[in-house]
Structure 1
Amino acid sequence: MSASKTRPIRWGMVGGGRGSQIGYIHRSAALRDSTFELTAGAFDIDPERGRAFGVELGLDEARSYPDYVAMFAAEAERPDGIEAVSIATPNNTHFAICTAALEHGLHVICEKPLCFTVSEAEELKALSQARGKIVGVTYGYAGHQMIEQARAMVKNGDLGEIRIVNLQFAHGFHSAPVEEQNPSTRWRVDPRFAGPSYVLGDVGTHPLYISEVILPHLKIKRLMCTRQSFVKSRAPLEDNAVTLMEYDNGAIATVWSSAVNAGSMHGQKVRIVGEKASIEWWDERPNQLSYEIQGEPVRVLERGMDYLYPEARIDDRIGGGHPEGLFEAWANLYRRFDLAISGNSRLAPAGVRNLVFPDIDAGLEGVRWVENCVRSADAGGIWVDYK
């Protein structure tokens, strides 16, 4: 818990009920460090099912609400009302729920994409600034400590000038039309619920955000994207896309976003190539970072070890040798959300010079990237200036 806090943040959830793919990890991460306390929720589109689920979680039945409108209104009238809310609902609801939460004076932690358009994202940013509230976006993989190690290595010049960035999130679990039997997948391939893209927004933005954490000094200058619907019933949404990008320093990047990489479990990899050395991180082996210096044997850096930079070691939870996973990574993000919400970034653990977390700007940039990729792909895969 933050050093100056006497109690956890009173916290609610919208969505994330029984059967949710993501609700359990939100709750596990938020509650792990006792920085948040789940006190209210609107968990399900079915009010009775949502109420019953809230009671199962130990909530007061009166604070297990039929919908977010009722929850925000009722909690605003309580002296012990919620102070923050996590949104774990289909994409098409994010903008409306985020807006309502901010208007009720709540901090927001939202699933990505934050919304559908850059104009909507800019509206949310302006509203969050006007209300003085934090908006966090759950790019959960960025909580792995080796991402901070990679960031520190680039900052300290271990790789030299960055030349090439290869990003991919290419799994194979949707190489067949699984949505015909799986409701939790069905909405992801329906533009009414998913928005203007499927895999670009659903998986591509994850390694993109990680690259932004590692390489904050690089800005996209222009890009070119091609996207395909290999399972034809998913058109106009893509289940595969390849994006080529140029940065303002002359470096280039590729992003492979796919749900049809048959045989691949997850396939999220980030490779950064510099003039002196390269690093590579693979989310299926998140505790290691490959460090490859030209002309020398490959080194595999392990999480939790004293040879890592302090920025990486402050995220360590159980010491070197023990495997940490996605739950720890998400908990690291929720700890950063807590520090930001509490205004206690100065009280972050020793070694933290700047509090890095996926904030409203990260959410906005994810939406901007998808919008530019779709614009390029729909124009025939042409180069477009990034805007």
Structure 2
Amino acid sequence: MTKLKWGMIGGGEGSQIGPAHRLGSGLDGLFEFTAGALDHRAAEGIEYGQRLGLGNRAYGSWQDMLAGESAREDRIDLVTVATPNSTHFEITKAFLEAGFHVLCEKPMTMTVAEGEEIVRVAEKSGKICAVNYGYTGYSLVRHMKAMIARGDIGKVRLVNAEFAHGHHADAADADNPRVRWRYDPAQAGVSAQFADCGIHAMHMASFVTGQEVTKLSADTVSCLEMRVLEDDAMVNFRMDGGTVGRLWTSSIAIGRQHGLGIQVFGETGGLRWSQEQPNQLYYMPLGGRLQVIERGEANLSPEADRTTRVTIGHAEGMPLAFANIYKDLAEAISARKEGREMDPAANLYPRAEDGLRSMAAVVAVAESGKQDGAWLDARPPMFQ
């Protein structure tokens, strides 16, 4: 298969997310890094892009990149938007309207109205708009989803998700610019910790169960009193398949490092997975013994087999999970080009609709927190 051409906006030198995307996109040899506008400082972005081998397709701004790539016959097939949150909507919309497939970092937008607009634009353009809930790329997360779908634990009763860390717990660090902006409504929007981390846990709950959140009740708090936005939240939610949900997210949980994990309890069994130990999925059948499912072992689901590369016993980490999102997208784009059906085991990448649902949940959590935990509709208006 001819390599697809990939471009990136943001993710410049020294960024946290840029290397993970570049590693993930190139890991399977399906994409070639072809174009980029990597820094809001034009000269630095061009220079860094040229050092990475982009030549004259290293652009000084996303607007220059849009114009330059639109004019080429060998234009990029996919662009990743990894810029500050407040710019996601404008850039994503512009590239979709120009006929490019887009992978946008989360949150997809800053408001529900913007999210609904992106869903409409993607539908009208006929182009893929994916959102990087990259942790759903882990092999055993996908195997958990497959087990639940085939009925291994029966009807799902309860899902418990969390994403808690302690890296913003030091009050002396509160004025650090890398921390402060996350709790500033002008830059972060209506929510801090839930919008940053909690939506990963909530999206994963929907991903593995195949159900969507319909309503929620939230208790939000700023444990550091100088913060306007929350640094800890406890969210109860209900799903459209009848499942009860519990979610805890925090940035002041000293001793927790990454802290993303999920437990699913059904009528005939339970499942448990943690991102810090991603090679093991714990399965407890009703009345049976605890089983440890290892990534890479024989007789797993097609969804798990397709997304494992390293032999059993060796760790697979976050860039490889990202790589599975890119692998899905490469299959989706190639299937469209070739006029065929895509591999159903690859049809798992998060969509614009997922980004929209997350934004609606963010707004509902923020409002419920203000109303002392009132139960609110968590669905965006277009899905009500």
Would the TM-score normalized by the shorter structure come out above 0.5?
Answer: yes
Q: TM-score, normalised by structure 1?
A: 0.92
1:16–1:89: 8 Å Cα contact kept in structure 2? yes
1:90–1:187: 8 Å Cα contact kept in structure 2? no
Determine helix, strand or coil for the equivalent of 1:163. strand
The letter of the residue matching 1:331 is A
Match of 2:159? 165
The equivalent position to 1:146 in structure 2, one of 125, 140, 143, is: 140
Structure 2: how far apart are the matches of 1:155 and 1:257? 26
Moved over 6 A (4+): none
Deviation of residue 332 (structure 1)? 0.7
Match status 1:293 vs 2:288: no
The letter of the residue matching 2:122 is S
The equivalent position to 2:232 in structure 1, one of 223, 240, 249, is: 240
Match of 2:382? none
Determine helix, strand or coil for the equivalent of 2:276. coil
2:302–2:345: 8 Å Cα contact kept in structure 1? no
Structure 1's 354 and 39: CA in aligned 2 closer, same or farther, altered over 3 A? closer
1:92–1:192: 8 Å Cα contact kept in structure 2? no
The equivalent position to 2:22 in structure 1, one of 24, 27, 30, is: 27
Match of 1:54? 49
Structure 1's 78 and 9: CA in aligned 2 closer, same or farther, altered over 3 A? same
Match of 1:274? 266
Match of 2:168? 174
Q: TM-score, normalised by structure 2?
A: 0.93
Deviation of residue 353 (structure 1)? 4.8
CA deviations on 1:63-122 (whole Å, 9 max, x unpaired) are 222211111012211222323211111111101111111122211111100001221111
Unaligned runs of 5+ in 1: none
The letter of the residue matching 2:161 is L
CA deviations on 1:196-230 (whole Å, 9 max, x unpaired) are 111111111112222222111x3333210111111
2:161–2:262: 8 Å Cα contact kept in structure 1? yes
Match of 1:260? 252
Deviation of residue 319 (structure 1)? 2.7
CA deviations on 1:250-276 (whole Å, 9 max, x unpaired) are 431111111111110111110001111
Determine helix, strand or coil for the equivalent of 2:292. strand
Deviation of residue 354 (structure 1)? 6.2
Structure 2: how far apart are the matches of 1:164 and 1:32? 36
Deviates more, 1:282-291 or 1:332-341: 332-341
The equivalent position to 1:325 in structure 2, one of 307, 312, 317, is: 317
1:91–1:195: 8 Å Cα contact kept in structure 2? no
CA deviations on 1:135-186 (whole Å, 9 max, x unpaired) are 11111111111111111111121111111110000011111243533x4434
Deviation of residue 347 (structure 1)? 4.9
Structure 1's 343 and 184: CA in aligned 2 closer, same or farther, altered over 3 A? farther
Tell me the C-alpha RMSD between the 2 structures.
1.7
Structure 2: how far apart are the matches of 1:341 and 1:238? 39
Unaligned runs of 5+ in 2: 380-384
Deviation of residue 41 (structure 1)? 1.2
1:224–1:384: 8 Å Cα contact kept in structure 2? yes
The equivalent position to 1:39 in structure 2, one of 34, 40, 44, is: 34
Determine helix, strand or coil for the equivalent of 1:86. strand
Structure 1's 336 and 151: CA in aligned 2 closer, same or farther, altered over 3 A? same
Determine helix, strand or coil for the equivalent of 1:146. helix
Structure 1's 46 and 354: CA in aligned 2 closer, same or farther, altered over 3 A? closer
Deviation of residue 54 (structure 1)? 0.8
CA deviations on 1:227-250 (whole Å, 9 max, x unpaired) are 111122321x11111100122344
